[in-house]
Protein backbone atom coordinates (compact mmCIF):
# COMPACT_ATOMS: atom_id res chain seq x y z
CA UNK A 1 0.00 0.00 0.00
CA UNK A 2 1.24 3.43 -0.92
CA UNK A 3 0.80 6.28 1.57
CA UNK A 4 -1.49 9.00 0.29
CA UNK A 5 -1.66 12.57 1.48
CA UNK A 6 -5.15 13.93 1.92
CA UNK A 7 -6.23 17.29 0.48
CA UNK A 8 -5.67 18.74 3.96
CA UNK A 9 -1.95 19.37 4.31
CA UNK A 10 -0.19 17.26 6.92
CA UNK A 11 -2.63 14.35 6.96
CA UNK A 12 -1.55 10.94 5.72
CA UNK A 13 -4.07 8.15 5.32
CA UNK A 14 -3.50 4.42 5.51
CA UNK A 15 -4.78 2.80 2.33
CA UNK A 16 -5.50 -0.44 4.24
CA UNK A 17 -7.52 0.69 7.28
CA UNK A 18 -8.01 4.38 6.48
CA UNK A 19 -6.52 5.70 9.73
CA UNK A 20 -5.17 9.24 9.44
CA UNK A 21 -1.76 10.34 10.71
CA UNK A 22 -0.34 13.87 11.04
CA UNK A 23 3.18 12.86 10.00
CA UNK A 24 4.49 10.69 7.17
CA UNK A 25 6.82 8.82 9.54
CA UNK A 26 3.88 7.87 11.76
CA UNK A 27 2.05 6.40 8.78
CA UNK A 28 5.18 4.55 7.67
CA UNK A 29 5.55 3.00 11.14
CA UNK A 30 1.84 2.14 11.24
CA UNK A 31 1.95 0.36 7.87
CA UNK A 32 4.17 -2.32 9.44
CA UNK A 33 1.19 -3.57 11.45
CA UNK A 34 -0.45 -4.71 8.20
CA UNK A 35 2.60 -6.75 7.15
CA UNK A 36 2.30 -10.52 7.27
CA UNK A 37 6.02 -10.86 8.03
CA UNK A 38 6.72 -10.51 11.76
CA UNK A 39 10.42 -9.81 12.18
CA UNK A 40 10.55 -9.98 15.98
CA UNK A 41 9.32 -13.31 17.42
CA UNK A 42 8.78 -13.90 21.14
CA UNK A 43 11.28 -16.46 22.38
CA UNK A 44 8.76 -17.86 24.87
CA UNK A 45 5.57 -18.31 22.86
CA UNK A 46 6.57 -17.61 19.25
CA UNK A 47 4.11 -14.77 18.68
CA UNK A 48 5.57 -12.35 16.13
CA UNK A 49 5.79 -8.57 16.15
CA UNK A 50 6.80 -5.96 13.59
CA UNK A 51 8.22 -3.58 16.15
CA UNK A 52 10.73 -4.16 18.96
CA UNK A 53 8.70 -1.93 21.29
CA UNK A 54 5.65 -4.14 20.82
CA UNK A 55 7.73 -7.25 21.49
CA UNK A 56 9.16 -5.74 24.69
CA UNK A 57 5.67 -4.79 25.86
CA UNK A 58 4.47 -8.33 25.10
CA UNK A 59 7.38 -9.89 27.01
CA UNK A 60 5.91 -8.49 30.23
CA UNK A 61 3.05 -10.97 29.86
CA UNK A 62 5.54 -13.77 30.52
CA UNK A 63 6.89 -12.39 33.82
Instruction: Give me the pLDDT at residue 8, please.
Output: 54
Please give the Cα distance from 19 to 9 (Å, whole number): 15
Do 17 and 30 meet the contact criterion of CB atoms below 8 Å apart?
no
| Total residue length of the chain | 63
Please give the Cα distance from 61 to 17 (Å, whole number): 28
The whole-model pTM stands at 0.62
Residue 20 lies in a domain: yes
Residue 49 lies in a domain: no
Instruction: Give me the pLDDT at residue 10, please.
Output: 75
- How many domains, the chain? 1
Residue 45 lies in a domain: no
Residue 28 structural domain: 4-34
Instruction: Give me the pLDDT at residue 4, please.
Output: 58
- pLDDT tens for each residue of 1-56: 555 554 556 799 999 999 999 999 999 999 989 999 999 999 999 999 998 999 99
Residue 39 lies in a domain: no
Please give the Cα distance from 30 to 54 (Å, whole number): 12
Please give the Cα distance from 21 to 45 (Å, whole number): 32
Residue 46 lies in a domain: no
Amino acid sequence: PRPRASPVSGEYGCSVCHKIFPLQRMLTRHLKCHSLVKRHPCRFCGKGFNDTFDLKRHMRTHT
